[in-house]
Amino acid sequence: MNAGPADDSVFRTVTKAPSVRHPHPARRPSGTAGFSLLELSVAIFIISVLAALAVPSYKRVNLEARTAATLNDLRVFTSAFQNYAHDRGDWPASTGVPAEVPPGMQSYLGETSWSRPTPIGGFYTYCANSLQQGERYRAVLVISAVGENKVTTDRQQLADIDHKADDGDLDTGSFRLGFRNQPVWVIEH
């Protein structure tokens, strides 16, 4: 018997193609979009770890920026008051009013941030012959709380200012805590 091509088909068995299983049973078959619960959990975990690492860095950078801005203000104001005293032979009269420019100081303070809130809250106040924590000073700058604009009570912030500008002790030196624990910058003892 001579079997031709048509006869070959008789001997072949028809088998059903095996079903293709996806290598990851948690995933949906192609054609449907989405993420598995595990993938979402991992993504959320990574984001939360990054946020936990970023928050302290942000706080530190923010603290250092406020410190630098406050120190710059104090240096500019000290220079302005010392120039006034050099030119006129005495310190200006004290108004004791926060953010108010002392008489005769308008041209010395010019375009400074004297009238604006300080980087650590409150406003700058100039005081002549000021009594602070039992000591009298010829000229000081006080950072005073006014209404809702409170001065920071963050000891770390105040200590950072004192460390970078002075002796690192809030009870001694040029930057200290004065009456009612308000920050005081001593221009002249």
pLDDT at 3 over 90: no
- Please tell me the predicted confidence (pLDDT) of residue 34: 86
Give the residue ranges of DSSP H helices in 17-154: 37-88, 106-109
Instruction: Give tens-digit pLDDT for 108-136.
Output: 998 899 999 999 999 999 999 999 999 99
Q: Which tokens belong to 90?
A: 């005495």
pTM over 0.85: no
- How many whole angstroms from its chain centre is CA 103? 35
CA 43, CA 37: separation in Å to the nearest integer?
Answer: 10
Q: What is the pLDDT of residue 37?
A: 93
Give residues with Cβ within 8 angstroms of 158, minimum separation 6. 120, 152, 170, 177, 183
Per residue in 8-35, pLDDT tens?
A: 555 555 555 555 555 555 555 555 678 8
Which of 123, 126, 122 is closest to 152 using CA atoms? 122
